[in-house]
Amino acid sequence: MTRDDIHSALMAVDPADKCRRVDELAAEDAGMLADETGESPAIPVPGQPSRPLLVHPAKLPRRGLGTVEGRAALVHAIAHIEFNAINLGLDAAWRFTGMPPDFYRDWLRVAADETRHFRLLNERLGELGFAYGDFDAHNGLWEAAVKTAHDVLVRMALVPRVLEARGLDVTPGMIKRLTGAGDRETVAILEIILEEEVPHVAIGTRWFRHYCEQRGEDPDALFPHLLETYMNGGPPGPYNFPDRRRAGFAEPELDYLRARDGG
């Protein structure tokens, strides 16, 4: 495995091809990447199909879950998040050189998990009579990757511990709504994703704290500072404190979020 192999997967346009490439990468030991060097130019847009059309989040219509189309739109939105998460895992493994071997193993393992999640959701879309690309989507996740491409510490703080952690916050509510709509098939998939996203966020926590220690930074103080600097304090609550705690959030970090959520 080389950095070029990861870059090829990152830039693959067809979702099935990207997933196949990730499967191949996951079958190899990524630790050897620790010895590779090279330039990591900015990637404004990774490989993605021409559909879904990417629009501003405000332009995405709100749909209820009382219709098949409404439930499919929600599944599509989550599938798009997982597709972006594949790219985020690949980008972390490709972009940052000179990291410990386990750094590369972790992020390619995450990319493989996100690939499996995407496939589950894409299959569910097919069962509902739709396909990935049938609804518009937004590009907020990758925009955050571009903003954090300059510093591995900032990336570890803000992508897994904010964007992926957001999934911990909102997925229980989606499960409840879909349960009420009688969609047990989608609920079963979301339950798998929720449980497996906890270790993904924990990986971000591990490496964020690793680089804080390496640089002599206090992670409990730095995390809120980075949220204020890059994300206007981060997304609003409510927050899933039990799962965030399982994912390694320290009590001072949770106190900061609790204060943002009004206590």
Residue type, 40: S
CA 187 vs CA 70, 87, 175, 200: distances in Å: 15, 24, 5, 20
Helices 3-11 & 15-26 angle (0-180, nearest 10): 160
pLDDT at 98 over 80: yes
pLDDT at 230 over 70: yes
Span 227-242, average pLDDT: 91
Using the structure block, give the residue that is written with the tokens 């971000």: 204
List the beta bridge partners of residue 137. 54
165 neighbors 247 (Cβ within 8 angstroms): yes
* Model pLDDT for residues 144-183, shown as the tens digit of each residue: 889 999 999 999 999 999 999 999 999 999 999 999 999 9
* Model pLDDT for residues 30-70, shown as the tens digit of each residue: 888 888 888 788 788 899 999 998 888 877 888 888 899 99
Percent of the chain at pLDDT exceeding 90? 80
Span 208-221, average pLDDT: 97
| Whole-number Å distance between alpha carbons of 234 and 85 | 18
- How many other CB atoms sit within 10 Å of the CB of residue 122? 21
| Whole-number Å distance between alpha carbons of 95 and 110 | 15
